[in-house]
Structure 1
Amino acid sequence: MRHVKNPQLHFGEVNIADINIDARSRDDVPAILKGLQYIYTNDTARKKVFSTLAAIIDPSVSTEVGRPGMALWRIFVLATVKLGLNCDFDRLQELANQHNTLRQMLGHSGWEDTTVYKLQTIIDNVSALKPSVLAEINQVIVESGHEVAKKKPGETLRTRCDSFVVETDVHYPTDVNLLWDAMRKIIELTGKACESENLSGWRQYRFNQKQFKKYYRKAQKIKHSTSKDEEKRAAQCEKIYQTYREYLFEAERLIEKSKITLKTLNDLGKIFQVEQIAHYIQHAVRQIDQIDRRVLKGEVIPHSEKVFSIFEEHTEWVSKGKAGVPVELGVRVSIIEDQYQFVLHHRIMWNETDDKVAVPIIKEAKQRYPLINQCSFDKGYYSKAKVSRISLCDHA
């Protein structure tokens, strides 16, 4: 069973309206908690947020019996803090367990409540908040913010649109280190699967991983000769080819060995492990092909074929021409902000550029905020066709 928030205070619990938040603090956590406190103490905003959160609960599930789940208010608070701080789940866990004011906002008393949040519990519950739910709650918050900013009824919204890159947690990608990433996961997962099922062939998988890393390091460190002597350059070039051949040969040998083991694991019904290993094998085969074509055959790999992370495959190579920032690795996001500096709408640009989203993002924003009557874009969004189509949106 799950509730939005238990209305009955526990012994020692502080009412959210009475939580003392340091107004002079320049840290970001108190500012986020102050906003959450306002939402909770504003009757209209609280009812709308609570009704949106309540819609998450499956109506077929009883709210009276069963094992209690995390209250939706607590999930909302944790999700808001994570988004506001742009932090990972490890920091969120530390704050939820050690930050006294945040614990009061979560509904824990200071001295009797010894609740400790486990990392996986936080991950599972915060991930349950869908983007559509957060978009509805964002609309409630914007409306409340407009009241605080004394926006007049019927006043039009003047907006601006801009994009930025949400960086993913990846290292600088090269085909050589991406092959290493794929191979170390293949060796590790295959070895552990064989350990758990008492299968032979991978007893020394940790040693094999270290040995393969030596081939990777050799390929990573070898450089072209800068000598003016033609023979020395040719000799170094042949040495490079030989180093890469050995690297690719060892990768192919381990992949073939892993494929044989996959058949046995599949016969044992270990579907999840098989799919995991097969996923990384696909990445490894692609990287072997690209290294072979680039280094040994002298081809230029088309940008459309490149993958920049095997763990976060949505990562894109973004070059926006910023001073001092030649390239960013992540995903583009466009936002629309009004004159009161509230973010009205956002659009994640999966394989899209600025010039492709100008019309769609305005249409989506006007569906939620019909009072939008103007929007400024930077030159990356501009085209004459887009201007005429956006003008039609204003008259729709």
Structure 2
Amino acid sequence: MREARNAQASIFEHYSNHEYGVRLRKLSEILDRQPEILELVAAEFIDTSVSAVGRTGLSAESVLRCLVLRQQLGFSYEQLAFHLSDSVTYRTFARLPAHLSPSRSCLQSTIRRIRPETLAQAHQAVTCNLISQGVISLDKLRIDSTVVASHIAPPSDSQLLNDGVRVISRLLAKSKTETGLNIRFTDKRKAAKSLAFRIFNAKKATKDELYPDLLKMARLVLKQADRGRRQVIEGAEASVSGQKWLDALAHYRDLTSRVIEQTERRVIQGEKVPSSDKIVSLFESHTDIIVKGFRDVQYGHKINLSSEESGFITALSIEDGNPGDKTLFLPVLDYHQFVLGKLPRSVVADGGYASQANVAAGRAMGLKHVVFHKPVGVSLTAMGVKSKTFNALRHFRAGVEGNISELKRAFGAAKARWKGHDGFKAFVWASALTYNLVRLARLGPD
């Protein structure tokens, strides 16, 4: 059974005198003063079905510290495994026993077991502690939104069709191993790859001529998938691996069918398909299309966040779709009031959040100032502030751009690299949690 903490500290613990070593020592002390985080993470590894004998593996404490280390250094799991085996400072911070050097696969499997809800609760616990200790001041709060990209290539209909043909054909090719039943099918992977490559590099007139052939291949593969599914259901013995194979086949079959439909509408019929109806990735199908302005199109999820004077992120939400900023203003205030238990005195947000209704709601909650960077449709008189106060809060709001930049640049939140929707959310929350902890190590009291 996995332990929450290491039973005994190593006598060889040592931090480098380099500034990063000093910072890691301070960060380690901060984590020791946040026992709620460890309790939340340790609960993820409790498995009553496992006997309390044999090897214990990484402790929950080491898993948490490896997660924090990875997010702030931007390492891959392979790089993290190397540095944990090579660096005394990193091993000391991670609280690794002398005999244990975790592999890439061990780190990946244990870190990814931490659910996004747990990381969100950990972030909330840290924020509440910092508010109660007076480290975080909520005299002024700034709100802004940004987009975190999914880990996908720029989408194209031809590549999505090729992905569907490739993945479904691969599943059919593995049917004997997974289900015990050999399914015969016509392998179109090589032909689809060649055709998709030609479409991608062709001029528009040539693309229009080639797309029907690729669509025909994709439809053929769907028919083969349906026939293979019926054969397995009727002829194969029930098994766990067989059911997983059926689930995967149904998943990719449905996604490929949607890609075929959107390609026919967009390319063949010349229809403008709404962003909400589009699939941009078979592997990260949760990805939203976020359009900012007329030309700036991003693929991922919009996040809405707030920060205070010292730059700590006090609230964060990961949105579905592309909601307008006006609708994201009050949820931040509600979170501070009902979850964190304290409302700010003054709030400033970007012009996209501006509305008279938001001003009225904020003032009704007891806020002294509700200001928007660009008074779009809301005058200074309507906001109830003087020009001097407006300019001071507008200059304060500019700091959130730096907070977002640091979150993306230094903590990896420009692109979420973990798979699946839960992986996306866990990556963003891990970045935000690590951001606050590292900022506390840099700016907090000694």
Same fold (TM over 0.5): yes
Q: Tell me the equivalent position of 1:199.
A: 182
Counterpart pick for 1:134 among 103, 119, 127: 119
| Corresponding residue SS for 1:372 | coil
Q: Which amino acid aligns with 1:68?
A: T
Aligned partner of residue 282 in structure 2, secondary structure: coil
Q: Is the 8 A contact 2:255 2:282 kept in 1?
A: yes
CA, structure 1 residues 342+21, in 2 after alignment: closer, same or farther (shift >3 Å)?
A: farther
1:330 aligns with 2:300: yes
| Aligned match for 1:222, one of 179, 202, 212 | 202
1:358 shift after superposition: 0.8
Q: Give ranges in structure 1 of 5+ residues lacking alignment.
A: 225-236
Is residue 74 of structure 1 aligned with residue 62 of structure 2?
Answer: yes
Q: After the TM superposition, which residues 187-336 of structure 1 pair with which residues of structure 2 at under 5 Å, given as runs?
A: 187-194=169-176, 197=180, 199-202=182-185, 205=187, 208-224=188-204, 237=205, 240-267=207-234, 268=236, 269=238, 270-321=242-293, 326-336=296-306
The structure number with the bigger radius of gyration is 1
Aligned residues: 359
Measure, in 2, the Cα distance between the counterparts of 1:303 and 1:62: 46
Amino acid aligned to 1:82: R
Quote the offset at 1:144 in angstroms: 6.3
Per the alignment, do residues 92 and 312 of structure 1 end up closer, same or farther by CA in structure 2, a change over 3 Å counting?
Answer: farther
- Give the conservation status (yes or no) of the 8 Å contact 1:32–1:84: no
Equivalents in 2 of 1:86, 1:266: separation in Å? 45
Describe how 1:1-396 pairs up with structure 2 within 5 A. Answer: 1-10=1-10, 12-14=11-13, 19-25=14-20, 30=21, 33-40=24-31, 45-56=33-44, 58=46, 65=53, 67-85=55-73, 88-108=76-96, 113=99, 115-142=100-127, 151=135, 156-194=138-176, 197=180, 199-202=182-185, 205=187, 208-224=188-204, 237=205, 240-267=207-234, 268=236, 269=238, 270-321=242-293, 326-351=296-321, 352-366=323-337, 367-394=339-366
Does the 8 Å CA contact 1:241/1:296 hold for their aligned counterparts? Answer: yes
Identity of aligned residues (%): 21
Write the distance in 2 (CA, Å) between the matches of 1:47 and 1:296: 59
The whole-number CA distance in structure 2 between the counterparts of 1:241 and 1:387 is: 51
- 8 Å CA contact 1:183–1:280 kept in 2: the answer is no
Q: 1:292 to 1:64 in 2, by over 3 A?
A: closer
* Contact 2:325–2:353, Cα closer than 8 Å, also in 1: yes
Q: Following TM superposition, by how much is the alpha carbon of 1:163 offset from its aligned partner in structure 2, in angstroms? A: 1.5
Q: CA deviation at 1:276?
A: 0.5
In 2: Cα distance, 1:60 partner to 1:391 partner? 50
In the superposition, the TM-score normalised over structure 1's length comes to 0.79
Q: Per-residue deviation at 1:61?
A: 7.1
Supply the distance in 1 between the matched residues of 2:255 and 2:124 (Cα, whole angstroms). 41
CA shift digits 1:106-138 (9 cap, x unpaired)? 2236xx52x232333323322333334334433
* Letter of the 1:38 counterpart: E
| 1:76-134 Cα distance to aligned partner (Å, 9 max, x none) | 1122223334555444444444443221222236xx52x23233332332233333433
- Which one is further off, 303-312 or 261-270? 261-270
Deviation string 1:245-278 (CA, Å, 9 cap, x unpaired) is 2111122112212221122223313121111112
Q: Are the structure 2 counterparts of residues 280 and 97 from structure 1 closer, same or farther at C-alpha, using a change threshold of 3 Å?
A: farther
Deviation at 1:368, TM superposition (A): 0.9
Equivalent residue of 2:301, what SS?
strand
In structure 2, the residue corresponding to 1:363 is in which secondary structure? helix
Q: Given the superposition, is the C-alpha separation of residues 195 and 242 from structure 1 closer, same or farther in structure 2, using an over 3 Å criterion?
A: farther
Q: Residues 18-38 of structure 1, C-alpha deviation per residue, up to 9 Å, x if partnerless?
A: x3244435xxxx587345322
* Structure 1 residues 271 and 47: alpha-carbon distance in aligned structure 2, compared to 1, 3 A threshold: closer
SS in 2 for 1:394: coil
Q: CA RMSD in A?
A: 3.1
Q: Deviations over 1:167-187 (max 9, x none)?
A: 111111122211111211111
Q: CA deviation at 1:302?
A: 2.2
SS in 2 for 1:159: strand
Deviations 1:43-69 (A, max 9, x none): xx2444444445556496799656524
